[in-house]
Amino acid sequence: MSLRLCLLACLLVAAQASKDANMQLKPTRWLTSSDLESVPSLNDITWERLESQPLEQGAKLIEKIYHVSQIKHDLTPSFVPSPSNVNVWIVKSNGQKVEAKLNNYVEIAKAQPGFGEDEVTIVLTGLPQNSQPAKKAMRKLVQAYVQRYNLQQLQKNAQEQQIKSTDYDYTSSEEQADQWKSAKTSSGDLIIIDLGSTLTNFKRYAMLDVANTGAMIGQTLIELTNKGVPQEIIHLIGQGIAAHVAGAAGNKFTAETGHKLRRITGLDPAKLLSKRPQTLVGLSRGDADFVDAIHTSTFAMGSPIRCGDVDFYPNGPSVAVPGSENVIEAVARATRYFAESVRPGSERNFPAVPANSLKQYKEQDGFGKRAYMGLQTDFDLRGDYILEVNAQSPFGKRSPALKQAAYHGVHRSQN
Amino acid sequence: MNPLRTLCVLACLLAATVANPQAGSHRRSNSLENVDQPSNWVNPREIEQLPSLQQVNLKKLQEMSLEEGATLLDKLYHLSQFNHVFKPDYTPEPSQVKGYIVGERGQKIEFNLNTLVQTVKRQQRFGDDEVTIFIQGLPENDSQVQKATRKLVNAYQQRYNLQPYPTTDVDYSSEEQRQRGSSEEQQSRQQRRRQGDDKEDTKTGDLIVIQLGNALEDFEQYATLNIERIGEIIGNRLVELTNTVNVPQEIIHLIGSGPAAHVAGVAGRQFTRQTGHKLRRITALDPSKIYGKPEDQLTGLARGDADFVDAIHTSAYGMGTSQRLANVDFFPNGPSTGVPGADNVVEASMRATRYFAESVRPGNERNFPAVAASSYQEYKQNKGYGKRAYMGIATDYDLQGDYMLQVNSKSPFGRSTPAQTQAGYHAVHQPWRQSAQGAASRRQ
């Protein structure tokens, strides 16, 4: 009996296989019940699970949920964090952190001496900070900005005395030899708005109301500028799903004030699962004077959709960038790359070329001039850029020209 | 365990699940419970009821209502993306992709992609001013498509052959036809040149139509179009054009409708690849969803493909896409299944061509005022922001962002600015929006 059943089953499967040729034409073959059943409940997906699953598995899972949500297409966003629950840190140029919340950080920031005189960088986290790769990436970004904003003082000190590298908390090879001593820099203020930690589970992440959360944050930016901080010095950075929140904040700001923020950077803008009907949502060009995005997990938690005036795709559009162990780390890589570019002297670590795939990049089949990804991306850029990156820090494949400057020996091109 | 036995067991399970679609686990789609279970987001019965692609063609789509057709296309699209069903395998033969140059007397000078350049070479004074190349994305045997193309061609003929505001300097010879259809006048190109009259709102120019749509005979070809390959071919032709016929790239305006919008984007990139220069402008008229995408590669129209890229979306949740592709994206009626007055998805998609054509007619450049917003609702509630912009031929090249606007259901489609209406009346102007509110409050 069971053998007969087995035979029947085998025949069915065989018949199935021969139909593959016509699979293109029959929608019932495109998504089967078993496909659907294999998508887990949102409640079963935890950050721990995503971090512990190998990259390919995690990516497949996210892609499945995403596509099914698009077929359904009326999954309505429902979660907006309460402002008193969102932690904010104001980082002073000596590295000291002043704690605040989303509903009071503007006052506290303005009370800091010298705040808002040069540059103001506001980072919206998009991953929970108890996740290892996310925590590390944020730490690196903060360090990089502290180094940058503190540099004027450092440079002055360096002239007066030897600086020991043990004075600073550098655990990897990202600091440069002596290049920072002569690098250009400005002073500035850094604010971290920890949106990511309010997304305590995947369901909240999937249901995040990007537009309203962004409007809430945009409102605080308006208060900031009302208190005398000019909008043209504000650089808003959004990580993962918070990249879209940053875009919405920019829109809110423009809607109320008629002015645009100077720049919004998306560090691996996420796939959006829930959307309001008949409404555009998500980071896009026009949300600030200049919008740039770095995609490090295009076919995992990130998205292939172009979000900025210029979009960088390290490793080309792929599941994730080299060296990513899991989907969370893949998102965090964009933050790591950006952080590296913030460090004085490393601004040109990430040369990129206009192209549509890694293949085109490697075959030198691009269509335009080289440009640099990161803090000092040229605001005139428009289009899609591809570049290669290393699997370990330092991530940027620096141009041969830069290497030349540091060596006095005969230059050997890296190819 | 015996591998054969394992295989049989697996096959059993597979066959069992496939043969018996889930029964009894359909919950109402709005219940909170349902939100947690992606496996309940889609009803397998829905999928079963979808037609085979062989049954999906333009004619059938036009027989369906706008909502029906849009829902079908949207579902087909997202379903196909789950397992990447479509591969971009279909490249039409260049000799099979035909087109025509619109001559000075309105005649059609035919070519195919292999003979395009030599045909252009034979034209006198080609590329003196502006060169517009319109790539059609749907087959012209469809009446909606035919009508929209005809309107666009007529509009350009008008634009390239006449002055918008007659002055006393104008000398209409008795030979000239004075056709007054909808405030149209005709004057020969030579006469204008002789008079050295250069109104900023109009130029002389040349129009080329490439009928790519005719090579897409069924849905499968449409869904598997190798945008990269055909875009490359057209891009190469453009390079030849600028080389052999001496047409400078900064006067080339590439327009693509539906899937041809993406082909235009790739053509632009290919042009830049070969020459190091960018085309001046690419306009997308209802850019389509891309079903068959190449692996690990970005595809389709994008900002940066030309100096300026603009898009008009008239069926974002139908044949078109809600994705922002251009430097500036216009959404008449906001992102939706279609636009007012469109009875089916094909007509909705063609409306983008109709709107653009209307803006091309001299004097109509400002018929479509739009406001930056994220939804039609925002636009209506006056919660839009930023400066007003004009959709169509006179779109400002500095614009960046998403724009919403209202349109009429019948031609003329553009809702001209209140300012224009103001100019026509000498009485005290009452802005139309305020008076509507006033009437509402009076009713209370």
Q: Which residues of A341-362 are buried (b: 16+ CB within 10 A; e: fewer)?
A: bbbbbbbbbbbbbbbbbbebbe
Which residues on adjacent β-strands are paired with residue B132?
B207, B253
Interface touch A384/B327, C-beta < 8 Å: no
Report CA dihedral (B18, B23, B28, B33) to the nearest 10 degrees: -80
Band (pLDDT 50/70/90 cuts) for residue A305 is very high
**Per-residue pLDDT tens over the stretch A87-126:** 999 998 778 899 999 999 999 999 998 898 889 999 999 9
Residue whose C-alpha is closest to residue A392's, from A198, A222, A232, A172: A172
- What angle in degrees, to the nearest 10, is found between the helix axes of B227-244 and B259-275? 50
Alpha carbon distance B86, A26 (integer Å):
12
pLDDT given at position A183: 57
* Residue B268 to residue A370: CA distance in whole angstroms: 18
pLDDT for residue B52: 83
- A contact test, residue of B280, B385, B404, B405 with most A CBs within 10 A: B385
Over residues A378-414, the pLDDT tens digits come to 999 999 999 999 999 999 998 544 333 333 333 333 3
Task: Give how far the C-alpha of residue B283 lies from the chain's centroid of Cα atoms, to the nearest Å.
Answer: 7
CATH number, domain containing residue A136: 3.40.50.1820
Report the chain B residue with the minimal C-alpha distance to residue A279. B375
More confident residue, B114 or B47: B114
A161/chain B closest Cα distance in angstroms? 48
- Reported as a single tens digit per residue, the pLDDT across B98-126 is 999 998 778 899 999 999 999 999 988 78
Give the list of residues 6+ apart from residue A114 with CB closer than 8 angstroms, or none: none
Sign of CA dihedral A155, A156, A159, A164: negative
Gap between the Cα atoms of A244 and A217, Å rounded: 12
pLDDT at B34 over 90: no
Confidence check: pLDDT of A234 > 60: yes
- CA–CA separation, B351 and B347 (whole Å): 6
Q: Which of A166-170, B284-288, B394-398, B417-421 has the lowest mean pLDDT?
A: B417-421
Chains A and B: how many Cβ contacts under 8 Å? 227
- Closest CB from A36, A42, A286 relative to B36: A42
Q: Which pair of tokens denotes residue A298?
A: 């295009």
Please report the pLDDT score of residue B433 as a whole number: 41
Model confidence band, residue A182 (pLDDT cutoffs 50, 70, 90): low
Q: Give the count of alpha carbons within 13 A of A272, CB side only.
A: 24
Q: What pLDDT does residue A159 have?
A: 65
Q: Give whole-number Cα distances, A228 to A186, A193, A214, in Å.
A: 19, 20, 21
Of the residues B35, B73, B274, B402, the best mutation for testing chain A's interface (the one with the most A CB atoms within 10 Å of its CB) is: B35
Question: Is B324 within 8 Å of A384 when comparing Cβ atoms?
Answer: no
Transcribe A65-131 into DSSP letters: HHHHHHHH------B---GGGSEEEEEPTTS-EEEEETTTHHHHHHHSTTTTSS-EEEEE--S-TTS
Where does the pLDDT of residue B7 fall: very low under 50, low under 70, confident under 90, or very high at 90 and above?
A: low
A189 vs B245 pLDDT, higher one: A189
Contact (CB<8Å) B299/A356: yes
Total structural domains in chain A?
Answer: 1
Once rounded to an integer, what is the mean pLDDT over residues B290-307?
A: 96
What distance in Å separates the CA atoms of residue B414 and residue B351, rounded to the nearest whole number?
12
Domains of chain B, residue spans: 96-170+178-428
Residue for token pair 């397998």? B44
> Which of A33, A285, A309 is the closest to B17 by Cβ?
A33
Write out chain B residues lying below 8 Å of A33, CB-based: 17-18, 21-22, 44
pLDDT at B279 exceeding the cut of 60: yes
Residue A278 has pLDDT above 90, yes or no: yes
Q: Is residue B231 classed exposed, middle or buried when 0-12, 13-18 and 19+ CB atoms within 10 A define those classes?
A: buried
Angstrom CA distances, B39 to A397, B35, B402, stand at 43, 10, 34
Q: How far is CA B219 from the centre of its chain?
A: 18
Structure tokens that stand for B394 in this block: 């006179």
pLDDT value, residue A201 = 92
Residue B423 has pLDDT above 70, yes or no: no
Say what the pLDDT of residue B388 is: 82
Name A219's Cβ contacts closer than 8 Å, sequence gap at least 6: A252, A256
Predicted local confidence at residue B438, as pLDDT: 40
| Burial zone of B437 (CB within 10 Å; 0-12 exposed, 13-18 middle, 19+ buried) | exposed
Averaged confidence pLDDT in chain A: 86
Within a domain: A404: no
- The answer as to whether A401 is a domain residue is no
pLDDT of residue A15: 56
pLDDT per position as a tens digit, B147-206:
999 999 999 999 988 433 333 333 444 333 333 333 333 334 444 444 444 444 456 889
Q: What percent of chain B has pLDDT over 90?
A: 60
- Residue range B82-99, pLDDT digits in tens: 888 899 999 999 999 999
Query: How much is the pLDDT for A1?
Result: 67
Residue A187: per-residue pLDDT:
82
Closest CA to A315 of B297, B113, B275, B383: B297
- Of B374, B370, B395, the residue nearest B308 (C-alpha): B395
Substitution target in B7, B297, B321 with the highest count of A β-carbons within 10 Å is B297
Q: Looking at residue B1, what is its pLDDT?
A: 53
**How far is it, in rounded angstroms, from Cα A264 to Cα A248?**
10
ipTM: 0.86
Please report whether residue A287 resides in a domain.
yes
Least confident segment among A137-146, A335-344, B261-270, B378-387: B378-387
In this predicted model, what pLDDT tens digit does every residue of A21-53 receive, in sequence order? 455 677 777 888 888 888 888 888 999 999 999
Measured CA to CA, the distance from residue B257 to residue A407 in angstroms comes to 54
Selected residue with higher pLDDT from A168 and B48: B48
Q: What is the mean pLDDT of residues B319-331?
A: 97
Residue B63 predicted with pLDDT over 80: yes
Percent residues over pLDDT 90 in chain A:
69
* Residue B10, both tokens: 């697996």
Average pLDDT of A356-361?
96
Three-state secondary structure call for residue A50: helix
Determine the Cα–Cα distance for residues A414 and A130; give it in Å rounded to an integer.
Answer: 39
Q: How far apart are CA B434 and CA B430, in angstroms?
A: 7
More confident position, A371 or B443: A371
Q: How far is B244 from chain A (nearest CA, A)?
A: 22
Q: How many CA atoms lie within 13 A of B135 on its CB side?
A: 33
Neighbours of B106 (CB within 10 A): 10
Q: Is the pLDDT of residue A375 over 60?
A: yes
- Read off the pLDDT band of A19 (50, 70, 90): very low
What mean pLDDT do residues B389-406 have?
A: 96
Task: Give me the pLDDT at residue B91, please.
Answer: 97
Q: What is the DSSP letter of A407?
A: -
Query: What is the average per-residue pLDDT within A149-156?
Result: 70
B-chain CB neighbours of A309 within 8 Å are: 303, 400
Closest CA–CA distance from residue A187 to any residue of chain B (Å): 30
Of chain B, the percentage scoring pLDDT greater than 70 comes to: 75
User: Three-state SS string across A324-376, please?
Assistant: CCCHHHHHHHHHHHHHHHHCCCCCCCCEEEECCCHHHHHCCCCCCCCEECCCC
Q: Tell me whether residues A309 and B303 touch, CB distance under 8 A.
A: yes
How far, in Å, CA of A390 to CA of A405, rounded? 21
Q: Which domain holds residue A240?
A: 83-387
What is the pLDDT, as a whole number, of residue A154?
Answer: 66
Q: What band does A256 get if pLDDT is binned at 50, 70 and 90?
A: very high
- Tell which CATH architecture fits domain B96-170+178-428: 3-Layer(aba) Sandwich (3.40)
* B304–A310 CB contact, under 8 Å: yes
pLDDT of residue A25: 73
pTM: 0.84
Instruction: Mention every residue, 6+ apart, whose C-beta is less than 8 A from residue A75.
Output: A69, A206, A207, A273, A274, A275, B35, B41
